[in-house]
Structures are given as C-alpha cells and as structure tokens.
C-alpha cells in the first residue's frame, strides 16, 4: 500500500523525482538540479534552490506563505505544511509530488 503524505496544495503540477532533504543553508551544496526539495521552512536564502528544484515539499506553511508565491513564480509543484516530512521521507527516495492534489507519494511504497 502506497504511503501518501498530505499537505496544502500550494502550486499546481506533478513531478516524480529524487527527494533531497535539506536541513539548512549548510547543506545547500548537496542539492542537485532536478531534485525534489524537502525542508522544514524557507526564507530568502532558499530562493536559489527553488530555481534548481523540480518540486518543493515543506513541513510548515500553506497557501498564505511566501514559499507558495515563490514556487508559483518558478512554475514548480509545491505541497506545503506536510507534517514530519523530514522524518517520513527518506533522503534519496523517489517521490511523486502532486501540487494540485496536495500529496507526496513515496515510490518505495507504491
């Protein structure tokens, strides 16, 4: 049975790719273009990663968050406010982010 995490559908679109867990700016160097960004929250320092990411998943925030605005500007799917995403999504896991449905599906469970 697939594990499906649910959050706020903040920016439409769907993408299947490698989840990269990023705890803070000290780990930005580990992020690769095309990765799915999974993090707790974002601030202006994270904006360049949005330009490299294919999708964004955050633990905090929602429709009324700056991350939602920035994700839409970059035209990438975003699911925000996914509780414990950093605990539940293994780093390197293949995930499908559906920014319209507000779901993150872990491939290992599909």
Partner 1 sequence: MTLLTLHAVRLLGFADTDAVAARFSQDPGLVESTLIDAGRTGLVTRSTFAGASGWLLSSAGRAENERLLAQELDQYRARSLVLEVHDDFGEFNDGVVSACGSLQLGVPKNPEATDVLIGALAAWRPLEARLARTLPRFEGYSDRLLRALKESARDSSWLTGTDRDSFHRVWFEIHEDLIATLGIQRAQS
| Residues forming the active site | 66
Is the Cα dihedral 92, 97, 103, 105 positive or negative?
Answer: negative
Task: Scan residues 3-22 and list those touching partner 1 (CB under 8 A).
Answer: none
Segment near partner 1 (CB under 8 A); pick from 13-21, 41-49, 90-98, 102-110:
41-49
Identify the residue whose tokens are 């202006």: 44
Residue 2 beta carbon to partner 1: minimum distance, rounded to whole angstroms: 28
Q: Are strands 36-39 and 55-58 parallel, antiparallel or unpaired?
A: parallel
52 binds partner 1 (CB under 8 A): yes
Strand order in the sheet with 94-98: 4-6, 103-106, 94-98, 14-21, 36-39, 55-58, 78-80, 8-11
24 binds partner 1 (CB under 8 A): yes
Residues that bind partner 1 (CB under 8 A): 24-26, 28-29, 33, 41, 43-52, 60-70, 72-74
């Amino acid at each position: 049975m697939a594990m499906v995490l649910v959050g706020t559908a903040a920016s439409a679109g769907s993408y299947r790719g490698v989840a990269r867990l990023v705890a803070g700016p000290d780990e930005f160097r580990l992020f690769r273009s095309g990765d799915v960004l999974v993090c707790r929250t974002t601030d202006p320092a994270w904006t360049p990663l949005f330009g490299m990411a294919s999708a964004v998943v955050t633990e905090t925030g929602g429709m009324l968050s700056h991350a939602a605005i920035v994700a839409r500007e970059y035209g990438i799917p975003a699911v925000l406010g996914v509780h414990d995403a950093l605990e539940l999504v293994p780093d390197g896991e293949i995930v499908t982010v559906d920014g319209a449905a507000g779901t993150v599906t872990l491939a290992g469970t599909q």
